[in-house]
Amino acid sequence: MRKIFVLAALAMLVIAFTSFDSKQATGTNTTAFNDSLDKDRAKYIAIVLEKIKGKENLPVDSVFKNLKMFKGMPANRLLAIMNIGYSKSLGVSCGHCHNTDDFASDEKKQKEITRQMAAMNKEINNNLLKNITGLQSSPAVINCTTCHRGQIKPALDLEKK
Ligand code: HEC
Ligand code: HEC
């Protein structure tokens, strides 16, 4: 009888962890989930770094093929933006926006959406937020994380994840 009880308790734990996993897949932040995403991103960054070896500090637009936003800064800064600024903010890996066999390709709609998100972000910072007086920060700024907070779809209320 006791054995059955222990087994049932174990089974429930397994179920709890499995449903936990599916929650993670929808973008809820947890350590385990972030570890595997971090690894995946590190893998692609290493691949790109290998390809641009010796050119890490050259102007980004002389190293990569299809940049419409980024100019001038050192090439390896682009990878930091891709990793932390974009991927981590949305809780995704590189493949969410890229064909990872061809990072220059624009075939994934998320890549062009990102260019428009960046333009929206800039408009808010430079033309809207700047005109609000009495804020705690000067200048007050937003970035991808402000809305996305580790999720593909920014939340509209505090309950829904
Ligand atoms: C949220 C979407 C998004 C994510 C996630 C993302 N990228 Fe990007 N990536 C872009 C956009 C947009 C551009 C083009 C920027 C421009 O037009 O200046 C780009 C450009 C690049 C380029 C330049 C390709 C070329 O030759 O033009 C590389 C390399 C790259 N990304 C690597 C990565 C890596 C590695 C990761 C994961 C660590 C990653 N990206 C994650 C949106 C994303
Ligand atoms: C002011 C809030 C806000 C900011 C700032 C913001 N986003 Fe978004 N983003 C949204 C909303 C809202 C959506 C649409 C979600 C939906 O489809 O319902 C979205 C959708 C996206 C998508 C499409 C995801 C998909 O696969 O459906 C991408 C990619 C994206 N954002 C990238 C970014 C990046 C990168 C930044 C920073 C440069 C950024 N966003 C900044 C609010 C924001």
The answer to the question of residue 49 being in a domain is yes
The answer to the question of residue 102 being in a domain is yes
The answer to the question of residue 130 being in a domain is yes
Tell me the per-residue pLDDT of 27-57, one tens digit each, with 9 for 90 and over: 444 566 678 999 999 999 999 999 999 999 9
The answer to the question of residue 2 being in a domain is no
pLDDT-derived band of residue 159, with 50, 70 and 90 as boundaries? confident
Q: What distance in angstroms lies between residue 10's CA and the mean position of ligand 2's atoms? A: 40
pLDDT at 6 over 80: no
State which of 88, 148, 152, 160 you would mutate to test the pocket of ligand 2, scoring each by most atoms of that ligand within 8 A of its C-beta: 148
DSSP one-letter string for the chain: -HHHHHHHHHHHHHHHHHHHHHHHHTT---HHHHHHHHHHHHHHHHHHHHHTTT-TTSBHHHH-S--SS--SSBHHHHHHIIIIIIIIHHT--GGGTSBTTBTT---SHHHHHHHHHHHHHHHIIIIIGGG--S-SSTT----HHHHHTT-SS--SSSS--
Give me the number of domains the chain comprises.
1
pTM (2 d.p.): 0.86
Range of the domain at 122: 27-148
The answer to the question of residue 77 being in a domain is yes
Tell me the per-residue pLDDT of 110-143, one tens digit each, with 9 for 90 and over: 999 999 999 999 999 999 999 999 999 999 999 9
The answer to the question of residue 22 being in a domain is no
Q: What is the CATH number of the domain that holds 46?
A: 1.10.468
